[in-house]
A and B are shown apart, each in its own frame.
Chain A
Amino acid sequence: MRTFFVSLLGIALLAAFIHIIAVLTLPYLAPKNAWARVSALSEPNRMVALPAANPSHQSLPMMAPDVRYSVCRFDLSKGAVRLSTQILDDLWLIAFYTPSGENFYAITGRELKRNRIEVIISTQNEVGVKAGASLLDEVEDLIVVDSPVREGVAVIRAPLLGPSYAAQTEAALKRSSCGRHLPGS
């Protein structure tokens, strides 16, 4: 009888341990997480307009068929990265992620109230508040995003207001860009 209860206790403790290890390691073991998929799509610091989701192809799982996406996998190891895009609608949204899919920052068109923006992505304390402030004086459309990670992903989401908006939206996303930020240029 005693052995039975000791066994049950052993099973419970071991199962709890395995459960915790599995949950904690899964984010690092999932071979097809979003970071792996985005990395396969492009070189770092390049803007890639994802093809519209269709029955035979989706760049990321369960993409919205009526949203157009553009992604930039940024790498800040050689300095800040500059993202620039048109914003055609209040619904447009730019979200920034760490490689494990944490959405550390997001800006919506509604908050921006302008139709073209430049975003400087930099690691914390690199561009610094002072530099950021002076840059902001120079170009008022500039937003400085402090990234907690050296590598990550920026995703522009452009919801379609109707099927007839697709061409115009895709064209605007194709014109958006991402690249090394060279101060003074």
Chain B
Amino acid sequence: MRSLLHLLLIFVVALILGLGTAWHTIEEGSALTTSHVGPWSVWRSAGKPDADPYTKAHVARAGRLPITASTALYFYANKDEKGEQLSSDCEYVIEGQPLNAAWWSLALYDGTGRLVPNKASRHSFNRTDVARRADGSFRIVLARSARPGNWLPSAKQGSLQLMLRAYGLRDATSVLDQDAATRGLPTIRKVVCQ
């Protein structure tokens, strides 16, 4: 009886460990599959026919059809510069230099991946419709109530996610390189919380 309980315990612990680590590596990624650049993470092989099993599982679970890195890159963020969860209770400033891409778009989603309803019907800013400074850099304010300039309306409650799509990135490999990327990708800075 005791040895049976012992075996059962081994099985349960192994099940929790096995499924837990599988879930974590598929959902959050690991050094093997994802690169982190400031607050942004990117699945390097998403969509590639020869991608590793973790990336394939991630893509299947996400239910998306990503384009491969040679044509487009998807940068995902659900945390700010300091690693704190993006929340609609807070106001954020997203500042970036001109990205060396044919086109890019920064879109806001709620915690479940839905677009955030707002009267302005504004869900994203992209290379063509963001207001830029003379040097090409831009500043987007993520807040609940209207702000001058590029205002991305935030949700009434809950967590937030950002997706930055870069089509035709001219130096995809250097963007994945830490130093170049920290200069190239936008920063997400928390300003104030309610």
Cα–Cα distance between A56 and B21 once the two chains are bound (Å): 33
Chain B residues within an 8 Å CB radius of A130: none
CB-contact partner of A15 in B21, B72, B114, B117, under 8 A: B21
Contacts known (A64-B165, A102-B51); A33 close to B115, Cβ less than 8 A = no
Residues of B within 8 A of A110 (CB): 102, 168
B14 touches A (CB below 8 Å): yes
B113 touching A108, Cβ below 8 Å: no
Inter-chain CA distance A106–B102, complex, in Å, is 16
A6-19, CB under 8 A of B: which get 1 and which 0?
01001111111111
A103 touches B65 (CB 8 A): yes
Give residues of chain A (49-66) contacting chain B, Cβ–Cβ below 8 Å.
Answer: 53-56, 58, 60-62, 64-66
User: Cβ of A78: which chain B residues have Cβ within 8 Å of it?
Assistant: none
Q: How many residues of A contact B (CB 8 A)?
A: 61
* Secondary structure dominating the interface of A: mixed
**How many residues of chain B get a CB closer than 8 Å to chain A's CBs?**
54
Q: B13 near A11 (CB under 8 angstroms)?
A: yes
CA distance A90 to B102 in the complex (A): 9
* B:19-34 near A, CB below 8 Å: 19, 21-23, 25-26
Contacts of A66 in B (CB 8 A): 105, 107, 123-124, 126, 129
CB distance from B183 to the nearest CB of A (A): 24
Does A128 interact with chain B (Cβ within 8 Å)? no
CB distance from B25 to the nearest CB of A (A): 7
A103 touches B66 (CB 8 A): yes
In contact, B57 and A14 (Cβ under 8 angstroms): no
Q: How far is the CB of A12 from chain B (nearest CB, A)?
A: 8
The reply to whether A98 and B49 contact each other, CB–CB distance below 8 Å, is yes
Are B18 and A61 interface neighbours, CB within 8 A? Answer: no
- Collect the chain A residues with CB atoms within 8 Å of residue B47's CB: 97, 101-103
A162 at the interface (CB under 8 A from B): yes
Q: Is B40 on the interface with A (CB-CB < 8 A)? A: no
30 A–B contact pairs at CB < 8 A? A11-B10, A11-B17, A18-B18, A22-B22, A23-B25, A23-B54, A26-B61, A27-B59, A28-B60, A33-B63, A34-B59, A36-B63, A55-B115, A55-B117, A56-B114, A58-B113, A62-B161, A66-B105, A95-B65, A95-B67, A97-B47, A101-B56, A101-B64, A103-B65, A106-B68, A110-B168, A157-B67, A159-B103, A160-B126, A162-B129
